[in-house]
Amino acid sequence: MNVVVGIPLYVMSAAALLAIVSGAFSLPGDLRRLPEWIGLLGVGISLLTLIAMWDRPQSGFEGEIRLTHMGLLMSGIILVATLATIALSWGEPAGAGRRGEYIGLILAAATGMMLTVTAGDLIVMFIGIELLSVSLYILCAIEVTREQSLESGLKYLITGAIGTATLIYGFALLYGMTGSTSLDVIGERLAHAGPLTSQPLLVAAMALVAVALGFKASAVPFHMWTPDVYQGAPTPVTTFMSTGTKAAAMGAFLLVFTGAAQGAIADWRVLIGAIAAASMVVGNIGALRQNSVKRMLAWSSVAQAGYLLMGVAVGTAFGAEALIYYLIAYLAMTLAAFAIVILREREVEDGDQLEAFTGYGRRRPWAGVVMTLAMLSLAGFPPLAGFIGKFMLFSAAIDSDMLWLAIVGALASAVSVVYYLRVSIVMWSPEPVRDVPERTLRVPRAVATVAVAGGVAIVALAIWAQPVIDLCRDAGASLLP
């Protein structure tokens, strides 16, 4: 039994427990940030461990955990999202007085995400999904004095429970048809199973799994919880959900469909393609009507799930490569955008409203540049990272004879230009005269660092795209036998 593969998970679990325990003590002023430092240390050690293992992919626990190139890279994406979330939470009102639980739950959710993308077994994947889900239910409602936060947690709990029931039912049917929970064994048996249309239970199993993972990825028509939960949750938690959870859900999609169900690709690719197309259309149209930037980014997240699912629908190594590259770009774009939203929320009441950003770029030019880069890249403007990612995804769809999906994606991207540019225009508009003076805020270094790092990454991922694409190619190739 190779226990070395579990080292990143051990470190994250230990850090989560230590952070929670530290919150039980009344710490003096200099040590109030101990939970955050524990979290940063745990994430840092885990990242270094993953980097050290890159040239030595391996599996352990009888193949139940697999640190392939895909698992390593996706885990790295999740850890970067976790690191940024802890930084964005520096001074967050939602964590005041309960830093131990707050940071501990973030680390626990990240552990579940990593377990999901490194799973070699359906049971392990289910445990990972549940660990991240339960942690996020609590994090959404952790700001107990704010009604919207409590409502967010309750809505996420109810819809998450439906997704959980659907997922376990789909896994049960998949086990019943293949006689195994191992993804490798399932892949072998599906490859010799013949057309799925002659096996109704297998059709039902694949459909239920797609529905359940669609809930986690905020894909249409399983997206109904996303705008309300994203808007009501503390903004750092929203950031974490839109990046880390998205990575975990897409990792699960790749493991189950591109990996294990590769032999039955002809039977499920249209289903995933339809979900992707619906997500791109509905998400972008829904975002057009929003005046809350958080809510607009929530609808944008629905649309982005559609773009990412294009990489799953094509079912090839190139599709997985494109998906992972775009996921890295999406991480940078989302962190940059939400960091600016967090900064504005701490300055004015209702700081997530679009009106609150009027003239903000003129007052803080660096923030205006970062937000503009994030919006333009999300819209797919060349030569930024978002354009390269979408170009790769559309190319993968065309190469796999799914031209219709690429056309839908291109048209949906054209629609998205309207609301992304609206934010950029408002940021640089003349600042209105305000009756009530705003709070003067010294920009939190941690939040500013995440914002600037996100903006720099958007440009860097475009200029030095090839080395990142090479890493993504290795990750995509590791999915297929």
pTM for the whole structure: 0.93
The whole-number pLDDT of residue 385 equals 92
Give residue-wise pLDDT tens across range 197-247: 557 788 888 889 999 999 889 898 888 888 888 888 888 999 999 999 999
Ordered by start, the domain boundaries in the chain are 4-432+441-477
Q: What percent of the chain has pLDDT over 90?
A: 49
Give residue-wise pLDDT tens across range 286-335: 999 888 889 999 999 999 999 999 999 998 889 999 999 999 999 999 99
Residues 6 or more apart whose CB falls under 8 angstroms from that of 101 comprise 20, 23, 138, 142
User: Confidence band (pLDDT; 50, 70, 90) for 179?
Assistant: confident
Give residue-wise pLDDT tens across range 432-479: 666 555 555 666 788 889 999 999 999 999 999 899 999 999 988 888
Give residue-wise pLDDT tens across range 258-295: 888 877 777 788 889 999 999 999 999 999 988 888 99
